[in-house]
Amino acid sequence: MQNLDATFSALADPTRRAILARLALGETTVMELAEPFDMTQPAISRHLKVLEGAGLIIRRIEGTKRPCRLAPSAIDEIDQWLGTLRQALAKNYDRLDAVLAGMKPKKRKARR
């Protein structure tokens, strides 16, 4: 779990998220992907490169076309990271709730 940088960074761009959404509907070529955007083809090619670098999409070669599709593994990776955070968060809030409710105050207040 070390390319979270690339993954989140790739997801930070709305064009790239839109591309992913489109790819979620099925495999698509570069030109098909570029069409709905007000952007040149090289720009889209670059976005695809970023997505591929982050492991979010996979490309094959089919004649002169380069159909892209989503890679499921990256999603899992994010999911896993989020899971960890959510879990810690839940624990944290439980604790806070407990404190607020005054249950088992233990040795709270011992903050240095």
Q: Would you tell me which residues interact with DNA (CB under 7 A)?
A: 9, 12-13, 15, 29-32, 38-43, 45-50, 59, 63-67
| C-alpha to C-alpha distances, 64 to 7, 27, 48, nearest whole angstrom | 28, 15, 16
Of positions 35, 79, 94, 97, contacts a copy of itself by CB under 8 A: 79
Query: Which partner from the list a copy of itself, DNA, none does 30 bind, CB cut-off 5 to 8 Å by kind?
Result: DNA
Taking CB under 8 A as the rule, does residue 82 contact a copy of itself? Answer: yes
Helices in the chain by DSSP H: which ranges?
Answer: 4-11, 14-24, 30-34, 41-53, 72-101
Tell me the closest approach of the beta carbon of residue 103 to DNA, in angstroms: 28
Could you give the 3-state DSSP secondary structure of residue 62?
strand
Q: State which amino acid sits at residue 36.
A: P
Please give the residues from 39 up to 78 whose contact with a copy of itself meets the rule CB under 8 A: 69-70, 72, 75, 78
